[in-house]
């Protein structure tokens, strides 16, 4: 994500001085072929407001020009139905979103709720593998009046560590998202949180640039994360991050 974000920022900088279309991306009416898009577009399943069945929704997504979709798990939708819709439409499963991470949190004061959160994450990882996705988006915890910052940090890391062996076995990454949960408010903190696990092969970051606009500047996260990564003395500093 950091590499992609840097590339996007670079493109924006070039566009501001040379116009919306550069030599490598000619205007549609210039007679030159448009450059092939290298990135695939996907949306969350809940954003598809048309259709009633999975197949109808995927067909609408395909018609709109999208390549993939991010599904929810745990979910009442059978994986077999999702697979059938993928085969008929060509839509890819980009990954999964832990569907209960806001209410059944890894940071909850109730130990049973935290245990349920671990089970839900395990289900999402298994569903992701079964459907051909690569990562599970996770809100690691929520800080509020009843859950202190340090409690959220310690409890969420404890829960994620329990799931790392399964994630590694399945080959599916746990992607921590920056979101409005009053937790992990800076890029430097995000790096520390991920590197604490010592598992760069399965724990990474889902960098949501849109969410960052609410509390900061996306380009600063990209720059700060890149600089911190190059100067970091952690044992995982040389490993790539998602």
Alpha carbon distance 37, 45 (integer Å): 23
Give the burial class of 163: count Cβ atoms within 10 A of its Cβ; 0-12 exposed, 13-18 middle, 19 or more buried.
buried
pLDDT single digits (tens) 19-70 = 332 334 444 455 666 677 678 899 999 999 999 999 999 999 999 999 999 9
Q: How many CB atoms lie within 10 A of CB 170?
A: 16
Of 24 and 221, the one with more pLDDT: 221
Least confident of 9-18, 94-103, 173-182: 9-18
- Quote the pLDDT of residue 234: 34
Alpha carbon distance 70, 42 (integer Å): 7
* 157 pLDDT higher than 60: yes
- Quote the pLDDT of residue 225: 79
- Quote the pLDDT of residue 127: 98
Alpha carbon distance 129, 139 (integer Å): 19
Alpha carbon distance 147, 144 (integer Å): 5
Cβ 160 vs Cβ 171: under 8 Å: no
Of 197 and 1, the one with more pLDDT: 197
Q: 3-state DSSP: the chain helix, strand, coil percent, rounded to 5?
A: 45, 10, 40
- Quote the pLDDT of residue 242: 39
The mean predicted confidence, pLDDT, of the chain is: 84
Cβ 207 vs Cβ 100: under 8 Å: no
Helices and strands in the chain: count of H runs, count of E runs: 8, 6
* 193 pLDDT higher than 60: yes
Q: Residue 198 region, left (φ>0) first, then alpha (ψ -120 to 50), else beta?
A: left
Backbone phi, psi, residue 97, to 5°: -115, 130
* 238 pLDDT higher than 50: no
Cβ 68 vs Cβ 77: under 8 Å: no
- The fold of the 100-231 domain, in CATH, is TIM Barrel (3.20.20)
* 215 pLDDT higher than 90: no
The ranges assigned to domains in the chain are: 1-39, 100-231
């Amino acid at each position: 994500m950091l590499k992609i974000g840097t590339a996007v920022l670079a493109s924006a900088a070039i566009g501001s001085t040379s116009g919306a279309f550069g030599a490598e991306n000619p205007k549609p009416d210039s007679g030159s072929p448009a450059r092939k898009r290298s990135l695939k577009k996907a949306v969350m399943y809940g954003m598809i407001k048309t259709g009633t069945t999975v197949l109808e929704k995927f067909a609408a997504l395909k018609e709109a020009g999208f390549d993939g979709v991010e599904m929810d798990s745990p979910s009442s939708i059978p994986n077999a139905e999702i697979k059938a819709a993928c085969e008929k439409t060509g839509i890819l499963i980009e990954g999964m979103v832990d569907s209960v991470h806001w209410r059944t949190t890894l940071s909850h004061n109730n130990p049973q709720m935290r245990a349920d959160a671990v089970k839900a994450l395990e289900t999402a990882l298994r569903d992701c593998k079964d459907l051909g996705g690569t990562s599970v988006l996770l809100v690691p915890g929520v800080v509020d009046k009843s859950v202190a910052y340090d409690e959220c940090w310690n409890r969420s890391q404890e829960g994620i560590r329990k799931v790392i062996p399964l994630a590694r076995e399945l080959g599916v990454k746990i992607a921590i998202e920056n979101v409005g949960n009053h937790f992990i408010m800076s890029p430097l903190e995000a790096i520390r949180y991920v590197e604490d696990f010592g598992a760069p092969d399965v724990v990474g970051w889902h960098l949501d640039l849109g969410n960052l606009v609410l509390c900061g500047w996306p380009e600063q996260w990209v720059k700060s994360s890149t600089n911190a990564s190059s100067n970091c003395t952690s044992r995982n500093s040389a490993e790539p991050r998602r």
